[in-house]
Amino acid sequence: MSTQQVPPDPELAAIEEALGALSPSRGRLDRDRLMFRAGQVSHRPTAPGRWGWPAVAGVLAVVALGQAVALRARPASRVVDRVVVVRVPALPSPDPAPVVILSQSPPAPPEAPTVLPWPLDYERLRRQIIRFGLDGLPEPPTFALRPGGRSDRERPEPSGALLRSEIARLLNPGEPL
């Protein structure tokens, strides 16, 4: 076991030989138990691998905590009522089937106002006017004419406008007759 750099000392060779002959004691060291323990240790994950899952769990915990904080700090949603008018365009009606005129009856004459006899009670006159307007008024009565062409009352021959004015006064009770 001597090195080439340091030459062996001949004076110390005897003591080296004498001491080298002694066998160190292994003491309480159990070889078989040590081999068993070494086999267990060699299959155990090393430090970097041992911390793999705890590191993943730590990262997920941080992410969850950050999401919780962000959720708490988020402003409350604001409800805004807004009326939206939706105009639905009129759908074009499908083309109707062509109408074939088989026969055409003469057009009905316009509805002529009913000629009511004179005189009329108030309600009937009112309904007549409402329905047909002034055109629905009955024919005014004819006054008897005296010789001279004038009536006893000396009233001029009533015209439609005059009769209408009198009728208007009748319908408006607030005005004097």
Partner 1 sequence: MDPELLGRLIDGHAAALVLYAGQWCEAPEDVVQDAFLKLAAQRRMPESPHAWLFRVVRNGAINAATAARRRHRHEAGAARSTPWFEPGRAGDRGETVDPETAAAELRALPIEQREVIVARLWGGLTFEQIGELRGDSSSTAHRLYHAGLSALRERLGVSCPRSRSRPTPS
* Interacting residues with partner 1 (CB under 8 A): 1, 3, 5-6, 9-29, 31, 34-35, 37-39, 41-42, 44, 46
Task: State the minimum distance, in angstroms, from the CB of residue 58 to partner 1.
Answer: 24
Task: State the minimum distance, in angstroms, from the CB of residue 51 to partner 1.
Answer: 15
Conformational region of residue 102, where left means phi above 0, alpha means psi within -120 to 50, and beta covers everything else: alpha
Would you say 23 or 172 has its CB closer to partner 1?
23
Conformational region of residue 27, where left means phi above 0, alpha means psi within -120 to 50, and beta covers everything else: left
Distance of CA 63 to CAs 52, 55, 111, 129, 149, Å?
17, 12, 87, 86, 116
Would you say 34 or 171 has its CB closer to partner 1?
34
Task: State the minimum distance, in angstroms, from the CB of residue 77 to partner 1.
Answer: 55
Sign of the Cα torsion 8, 9, 10, 16 reads negative
Would you say 49 or 119 has its CB closer to partner 1?
49
Residue with tokens 């307007």: 133
Would you say 22 or 90 has its CB closer to partner 1?
22
Task: State the minimum distance, in angstroms, from the CB of residue 10 to partner 1.
Answer: 6
| Residue 55: its H or E element | helix 52-73
